[in-house]
Copies of this chain bind each other. A is one copy, B any other.
Amino acid sequence: MAMPSDQAGPGPWILVEDPWGRVEPESSRRLLLVAIEAFADQGYHATTTRDIATRAGMSPAALYVHYPSKAALLARISGVGHEVALALVQQAIDGAPDPLSRLRAVVAGFAAWHAEHHRVARVVHYELTALPEPDRAAIVELRRRIEQLVEEQISAGVAAGQMQVAHPRRVARAVLSLGVDVARWYHPTGPDSPSAIGALYADLAARMVGAGDLPE
């Protein structure tokens, strides 16, 4: 298949490669990182705040200075993860000149990010129901905005005659599903790099919206 168009460049996800750099102070960031590992290894429900504090080399009391509860840690992880995903989608759209190039850049970046950050992505996607309100509502709203941005590119592509899609909202969801599910099966030791997965999935998304090229 064809490689993604040059507009996608080396991948917009490079700009957000360390999504946790924004979390300050350092001890707060360290707790998030070990909480991701604990939730990914043991599952959210079976992890205690003591497990997380121990992994971070801190006392439970020191953990509570930063986060009042385990749910607060999950909410922060999910919040940062979704904000980064939304920023990545927005950057991909802003950096490309037309609906099809935008869709390709979004899908390439979204799929590559889910490969690169597969452990945090699993926590974020699979533990959504564990979030208390109002955190859950805030995350659902971020997800809705991501889906809406993708739907808008598809609707614009249809209007411009670039794409042929009867149900832009449903196809937007399916296109994002491809990227989300990368986090489930991806292994860093496998044959495919995150950027190679992104390139292939951009091609598949172009075909899904009726705008694909023939294979080379």
Contact = CB atoms under 8 A, between A and B. Distances in A.
Contacts of A178: 174, 177-178, 181
Contacts of A44: 43
Interface residues of A, number: 36
Contact of A180 (B46, B184, B204, B215): B184
Nearest to A176: B181
B216 A208 contact: no
Contact of A173 (B42, B167, B185, B210): B185
Interface string A168-190: 00110110011011101100000
A205 to B, nearest CB: 9
A125 interface: yes
A94 interface: no
A200 interface: yes
Contact of A46 (B46, B171, B174): B46
Contact of A201 (B42, B126, B174, B210): B174
* A interface, over-half SS: helix
A177 B166 contact: no
Contacts of A125: 184
B1 A204 contact: no
Nearest to A143: B185
A189 to B, nearest CB: 15
Contact of A212 (B43, B201, B210): B210
A165 interface: yes
A192 interface: yes
A25 B122 CA distance: 36
Contact of A185 (B42, B167, B177, B212): B177
Given A45-B46, A170-B192, 12 more contacts: A43-B43, A43-B130, A45-B45, A125-B184, A165-B215, A166-B215, A166-B216, A171-B204, A174-B200, A177-B178, A177-B185, A207-B210
